[in-house]
Structure 1
Amino acid sequence: MSRRAALRLLAVLVAAAVVVAVAVVGYRVLRPGTPEQDGWYERPPAADAPLRAVTPSTARPADGGGAPFVTAVADGGRYFVDQDGAPILVRGDAPWSLLVDLSPAEAETYLTTRSEQGFNALLVSLLGNPANGGPSADGATVDGLLPFVDGDVTRWNAPYWDRAHDTLARAADLGLTVLLYPVDSWTLDEPFGSPSVAVCHDYGAMVGEWAADLPHVLWMAGGDYTPEPADDACLEAVQEGIRSTGDSRPFSAQLITVRFAGQDPHWDPLVDWDFVYSYQPVYEAVREAYDTGPVRPALLAESNYEGENNMGDQPTTTETLRRQVLWAITSGSPGDVYGTEDWEFLPGWQDRLRSEGAEQVARLRDVVASLPWWTLVPDDGALLTGGAGGNPDAFDQLETDLATAAASPDGDLALVYVPTERTVTLDVDRLAPGSRAWWVDPTTGEPAPASLAGSMTTPGANAAGDHDWLLVLGTHPVDG
């Protein structure tokens, strides 16, 4: 098991930790476009040292190609909006080592396939290390491109950064938002080298300038990260460096010590949205983040990955994946991030891109995205009045059968996820006049009209032979 996989397993066992705040020292970074050379400059090693030009990126600016991607947190703080200000459901994947493990042709295969499947967000590390799926500890790509010259994080090897820029620009063309880690917990030591706070700030400013024409990037810190004062100072300095360029795009942190950054007193005031991280029944963590102030998106951004076993003897099944998506949505998450064992692009990954789990998750997301999901508020028993079930001692997603619900305040839309066969009771007076009901098979996305009543029973086995169903209620038609 890789260090990353081992640490991800620890996420279900660790308790919250309090970390120490460290002041960030600002540093001015030289920018492109001087009369001498229209290119990137390295930070001088000393105040009187001459500037050294780095070949500028040849990647064209990304214009998004008309495809929507995440750009900001919506007014009200519960979900994200795209470049036109419209609500956008996060439909993510976690190809952590995309930029170092794949050739440009392979990256094109991955990106276009995920776009065709309706994915619109990717979790990606800008630097590689074997612990985050990369080929080598020096950060080199699979074909040997190093990110830095002589290990100096302010001396960039242009071919590496040009390729990374091209790949991310292509993601923008396809409407794939990138949740990007400029440096993560696995690359802080190698290849980043744990430099001084001032150098971390310089690097962040360089990244901010480099990504200025990539409008689909959201910034991340951490990654299975146990906070330490020195590391906190560097990660914060990187983000401050990015901010020094005028970049204001949303930022979050992934910590292994807590379910979301809002539970950590140090990181809580620094993030714009909560990266919810739990392998246990996800409705618990998502709802806790949703209910914890300040109000901001509580996105389920990591749980069990398809093809991996992170819960001891319990497998990650397609039913596990469906539960994670629908429990997240009905508990207040503005989408979810799915993942697979190919976060590190294992041999044969191309053949697994269209796995049954990925296809089922895509179908479910299509159903949710076709409805005004952003109006939903998690239900506290006002709509779902009986038959909820549940197991407060559950450790794995499949050890509990809790039904969860969410409804719009005007009753125009409600979703009820029922994970096992049963009858549920509803207060139909909470629904808008003219409301109807559909049972949606979560394995196919196919809806079947049902008679709306105060007592409703699941239709039996779904197409996969399981008994979980999504009940859609309201005035909005559900198309098959």
Structure 2
Amino acid sequence: MNRRLAARTAAVLAAVLAAVAVAVLVVLGGYQALRPERAAPEPSSGPAAAAPATSGAPTASPRADGGTRFVTAVSGDGRYFVDQDGDPVLVRGDSPWSLLVDLRPDEAETYLTARAEQGFNTLVVSLLGNPMNGGVTADGATVDGLLPFAQGDVTGWHEPYWDRAHATLARAADLGLTVLLYPVDSWTVEEPFGSPSVEDCRAYGAQVGEWAADLPNVLWMAGGDYTPSPEHDACFEAVQEGIRSTGDDRPFSAQLITVRFAGQDPHWGPLVDWDFVYSYQPVYEAVREAYDTGPVRPALLAESNYEGENNLEDEPTTTETLRRQVLWAVTSGSPGDVFGTDDWEFLPGWQGRLRSEGAQQVARLRDVVAALPWWTLVPDDGSLLVGGASGNPEALDQLESDLATAAASPDGDLALVYVPTARTVTLDLDGLAAGAQAWWVDPTTGEPESATLAASMTTPGANADGDHDWLLVLGTHRPW
């Protein structure tokens, strides 16, 4: 088992325990050699200042004014994310945790360009490295020896490290990639961070906030496979307080290993702006629970099984696993998803795996969803999908459950039903808009097949991969 996978195994156990508890309760070379002049931050775009959600179609990427869209703020209704114009933006994530320390600038360019071409728009990244989060050495050095700190002083920065990291994130911005950035995480808080005082944590946060002020593509994170402790809680909070002291109020969340989303933790729940949903069991349950848990905020599936890894050693993570995670998430209330691969730590030969079959299928599915008014969807309460749901409440792996899930817009203009195995589903059509039509979408190719809308609908047989999962699109919006 690799380093993070060991921690993820603990996550499965924690998720099971949580479920039981709920039941009973990137010297710079290719970029630039010197840090550029930093522009003043743009006006606040955090959740409290989020532009009202719009009812029209999302702006295409790039934006009409030639700019680039980012995941910027939380929608007015608290359910999804919006860009700089207040338009809905579907999260299409990847998890290159060690991007800033494992890759030289030319390698980072290869990675970033490939993911942007595939339609990814969000990355999970640690600002500091440690072997446990995919980094090179415990002192936080990059692969070619750039160190972040001088003699363990978290406010004594080695500028070449920070200039390169800034240039990498700026290049991500050029390509329309938002970064869910951990200034310090649960693997780096002791090395290379060195468990400093709360005052030093706060001072470091202020430096990070100033350093990132001209980066329009950052959202803030804390934790990471994190078991809360008073000492580390205090440091993580102080870092975020330091960032906030610079006038930066971009959305913040935390990833904990002890719960499936921060809202379940009495300490961290009140501190986050959106929920990082973290589950290796069939994801519909955790996403739906986060969606239903107040206060209302985005319940984003931000980590589940990675391509090439599985916490259950005797179970593979197949392309079907990855498809299920995307579509179960979207039909259970998640405003997108975050994909991951075994190359989160950039293993040898990673360049040849950037266009893996899993990444391509996930990209196709996201294209389908993004072409529809997905932000209007509400998870089904049983009024649309009334038969053929099935399920396995004891499933530990994504492939052990066959639950069909659905979501629909309140006006009946759009509905999605994800059917993971062959069957006939029974629908209540009364809530659909007049003129509604039906399409079966092959989730392996993204291609739709027109179907006759009826109260009982049967999956069309094997999809292009020989599996039997299908996405049923209902309403007046023809899929991609």
Report the Cα offset of residue 60 of structure 1: 7.2
Q: CA distance change for structure 1 residues 270 and 56 in 2, over 3 Å: closer, same or farther? A: farther
Secondary structure in structure 2 of the residue aligned to 1:220:
strand
RMSD: 1.5
Equivalent residue letter for 1:353: L
- 1-side partners of 2:132 and 2:151: how far apart? 21
Report the Cα offset of residue 151 of structure 1: 1.5
Name the counterpart of 1:101: 102
Contact kept, 8 Å, 1:2 with 1:131, in 2: the verdict is no
Name the counterpart of 2:442: 441
- 2-side partners of 1:293 and 1:56: how far apart? 45
Contact kept, 8 Å, 2:5 with 2:309, in 1: the verdict is no
Name the counterpart of 1:117: 118
Q: CA distance change for structure 1 residues 344 and 59 in 2, over 3 Å: closer, same or farther? A: farther
Name the counterpart of 2:88: 87
Provide Cα deviations, 1:147-176, integer angstroms capped at 9, x if missing partner.
011111101000000000000001011110
Equivalent residue letter for 1:109: T
Contact kept, 8 Å, 1:16 with 1:263, in 2: the verdict is no
Report the Cα offset of residue 16 of structure 1: 5.5
Name the counterpart of 1:242: 243
- 2-side partners of 1:329 and 1:56: how far apart? 42
Name the counterpart of 1:7: 7
- 2-side partners of 1:254 and 1:206: how far apart? 23
Provide Cα deviations, 1:61-115, integer angstroms capped at 9, x if missing partner.
6999612110000001000000111000000000000000001000000000000
Name the counterpart of 2:348: 347
Name the counterpart of 2:378: 377
Residues 415-454 of structure 1 aligned to structure 2 (within 5 Å) = 415-454=416-455
Segments of 5+ residues of structure 1 without an aligned counterpart are 18-54
Equivalent residue letter for 2:330: I
Q: 144-153 or 92-101, which moves further after superposition?
A: 144-153
Name the counterpart of 1:263: 264
Secondary structure in structure 1 of the residue aligned to 2:137:
coil
Alignment of 1:275 onto 2:276: yes
Q: TM-score, normalised by structure 1?
A: 0.90
Alignment of 1:164 onto 2:142: no
* Number of residue pairs aligned between Structure 1 and Structure 2: 442
Equivalent residue letter for 2:392: N
Provide Cα deviations, 1:104-157, integer angstroms capped at 9, x if missing partner.
000000000000000000000000000000010000000000001111110100
Contact kept, 8 Å, 1:384 with 1:405, in 2: the verdict is yes
Segments of 5+ residues of structure 2 without an aligned counterpart are 20-32, 43-61
- 2-side partners of 1:96 and 1:356: how far apart? 21
Contact kept, 8 Å, 1:16 with 1:264, in 2: the verdict is no
Alignment of 1:404 onto 2:382: no
Contact kept, 8 Å, 1:59 with 1:162, in 2: the verdict is no
Residues 31-70 of structure 1 aligned to structure 2 (within 5 Å) = 57-58=35-36, 66-70=67-71
Equivalent residue letter for 2:284: Y
Name the counterpart of 2:368: 367
- 2-side partners of 1:174 and 1:56: how far apart? 21
Name the counterpart of 1:478: 479
Name the counterpart of 1:230: 231
Equivalent residue letter for 2:430: D
Q: Which structure has the greater CA radius of gyration? A: 1
- 1-side partners of 2:463 and 2:311: how far apart? 26
Contact kept, 8 Å, 1:147 with 1:156, in 2: the verdict is yes
Q: TM-score, normalised by structure 2?
A: 0.90
Contact kept, 8 Å, 1:411 with 1:430, in 2: the verdict is yes
Alignment of 1:128 onto 2:106: no
Contact kept, 8 Å, 2:219 with 2:250, in 1: the verdict is yes
Provide Cα deviations, 1:227-282, integer angstroms capped at 9, x if missing partner.
00000000000000000000000000000000000000000000000000000000
- 2-side partners of 1:233 and 1:57: how far apart? 31
Equivalent residue letter for 1:57: R
- 1-side partners of 2:226 and 2:219: how far apart? 18
Contact kept, 8 Å, 1:59 with 1:165, in 2: the verdict is no
Contact kept, 8 Å, 2:12 with 2:311, in 1: the verdict is no
Contact kept, 8 Å, 2:96 with 2:343, in 1: the verdict is yes
Name the counterpart of 2:46: none
Equivalent residue letter for 1:344: E
